[in-house]
Chain A
Amino acid sequence: MLLEQLINGITLGSIYAIVALGFTLVFGVLGIINMAHGEIFMFGAFIGVIVTSVMGLPLWVAFIAAIAVTAVLGYMLERIALRPLRGKQGVSHLAPLISTIGVSILLENLSHHLFGAGNQPFRNAFAEIQIQIGSITIYLVQILIFVISVALMLALSYWLSKTKAGKALRATAENLETASLLGVNTKRTITTTVIIASVMGGIAGILVGMAFNSVNPQMGLSMGLKGLAIIILGGMGNVKGAMAGGLLLGIAETLIVAYGDSGYRDAVAFITIIFILLLRPQGLFGKNTAESGR
């Protein structure tokens, strides 16, 4: 069923979009690729498993716990791995990237210790509820994931365009010095950004657990690479681009698996990206100027 596959694709795509938003926020403000983002996402997923399947608590508790844990991870990432490298003389511009790779390896190993190496089922009665519309089956979870994703995207867009803190973030993203001359405490803005991005990763983690009923320590790496691919696709540091790119990739992947060869599933992301970049090197939504690359 094409329609059913489209719904699956949109579900997956909206999760990708949230992961990509986290990437894009950090890239926009710091100009760096946060390679630990995927692992923070994975931690969010595991917190979901522990709270619902192991402790048997309701789903909303899992969300709160995941948000809290990933917020702390984001804070530590900024304080321990990023801030000490910032604005120092003689530090390579690649240093923060390497530093986030270090954090990602640390988090992956830590999750092996804490949660075990294998797959963990994400058991939740809620995940079984399905709705029949004619011949189409939709899971309630799919609707929930879509609603949460759209709500997050709208909230983020609103926050960035209308609130004082959101404007301060955009000013910081455009020019750190100018923002600080205008009275923005740029250190605090950066910390807030990394925390928000991490929380978005954590929420995406729970959603993936709910959608696919399974969580493992390796899932961070592939999600991280896809999130990266999406922001290249959508234009670096671009919020709308991250959303569109995420949805596009989710749908493309799902359709390939359904109608093509499932072995190519993970290759789709990267093949699409190579094509798009050949045609539009600045990404789908990126502007064709040097400065908007930030």
Chain B
Amino acid sequence: MLKITGIETFYGKIQALKGISLEVEQGKVVTILGANGAGKTTTMKTISGLLKPKHGTVEFLGEDITGLRPDQLLRKGIALVPEGRAILSSMTVMENLEMGAYHRNDKDIKKDIEEVMTHFPILKERKEQLGGTLSGGQQQMLAIARALLSKPKLILLDEPSMGLAPLIVANIFKIIKEINADGTTVLLVEQNAKQALKVADYGYVMETGKIIINGDAKDLLKDTRIVEAYLGKKSS
């Protein structure tokens, strides 16, 4: 479904991605792991069109989409939930959700918002509240719900569990599974390697702008390099 080949992305003269290639198959959950500063966010931003790669190509459903703008990519079915959630803090929860369906013109928007709110009851309770006044976990729910309202084919989640309490983290991973079960393909960036590999079908590990390991998630869970670097000794 998504295929990126030889991506090199720069911030001015700093090269953050040094030739990244990866593939996401339709219907799967794929995760990207890696230490801070490895280039995970840069990869997500490049796929979603926020950054333009200097070299390399991004293909989606067989079409070359390299260099398109985020709003064009959203219309093709790629939605990013960015790192740090990016809630519109001066708009209400309801308005944030409506913005999620911004590009749609169909009649189901109201119905879909209702449905999403039954999935995330807290959002229904808080629908008149300003987005910026939600707690971190609530904001993450809102960010995911908002992205789902664009009806994406592929959803990119950049560290959705960042800064959340363990119980909420577990809930987020449950939601990711549900999203995937509903037919949406997921590309997930995580620090929480163990949980990520448990929900994922396939995984990539990045280090300083390169992919150093890739493989089936269940194999990676047992890979000694990963166990040592990301899962810790006590993890099993």
Interface residue ranges, A against B (CB under 8 Å) = 89, 164, 167-168, 170-171, 174-175, 177-186, 291-292
Contacts and interface: CB of A to CB of B under 8 A. Distances in A.
Given A167-B95, A167-B99, A182-B100, A174 B88 contact: yes
27 contacts: A167-B91, A167-B95, A167-B98, A167-B99, A168-B99, A170-B88, A171-B91, A174-B89, A174-B90, A177-B70, A180-B49, A181-B48, A181-B70, A181-B79, A181-B80, A181-B86, A182-B100, A182-B102, A182-B146, A182-B150, A183-B70, A183-B71, A183-B103, A183-B150, A184-B102, A185-B69, A186-B71
Q: Lowest 8 CB-CB distances: which A-B pairs, in order?
A: A183-B103, A180-B70, A183-B74, A178-B86, A183-B102, A183-B71, A181-B70, A182-B99
Interface of B: 12, 48-50, 69-71, 74-75, 79-80, 82, 86, 88-91, 95, 98-100, 102-103, 146, 150
Nearest to A183: B103
Contacts of A171: 88, 91, 99
A36 to B, nearest CB: 27
A247 B171 CA distance: 51
A181 B100 CA distance: 9
Contacts of B89: 174, 291
A170 B91 contact: yes
A291 B48 CA distance: 25
Given A183-B102, A292-B90, 18 more contacts: A164-B98, A164-B102, A167-B98, A174-B88, A175-B86, A177-B50, A179-B99, A180-B69, A181-B71, A181-B74, A181-B82, A182-B74, A182-B100, A182-B102, A183-B103, A184-B99, A184-B102, A185-B69
The majority secondary structure among interface residues of chain A is helix
Given A89-B12, A167-B99, A171-B99, A180 B88 contact: no
Contacts of B82: 177-178, 181
Nearest to A186: B71
A170 B49 CA distance: 21
Contacts of B90: 170, 174, 292
B74 A168 contact: no
B50 A180 contact: yes
Contact of B71 (A164, A180, A292): A180
B46 to A, nearest CB: 13
From A175, A180, A292, name the one whose CB has the most chain B CB atoms within 10 angstroms. Answer: A180
Given A182-B102, A182-B150, A174 B12 contact: no
Contacts of A179: 99
A171 B75 CA distance: 18
Contacts of B71: 180-186
B181 to A, nearest CB: 24
A294 to B, nearest CB: 9
Contacts of A174: 88-91
Nearest to A292: B90
A183 B75 contact: yes
A181 B69 CA distance: 9
Contacts of B86: 175, 177-178, 181
A167 B94 CA distance: 12
Nearest to B81: A181
B93 to A, nearest CB: 13
Nearest to A161: B95
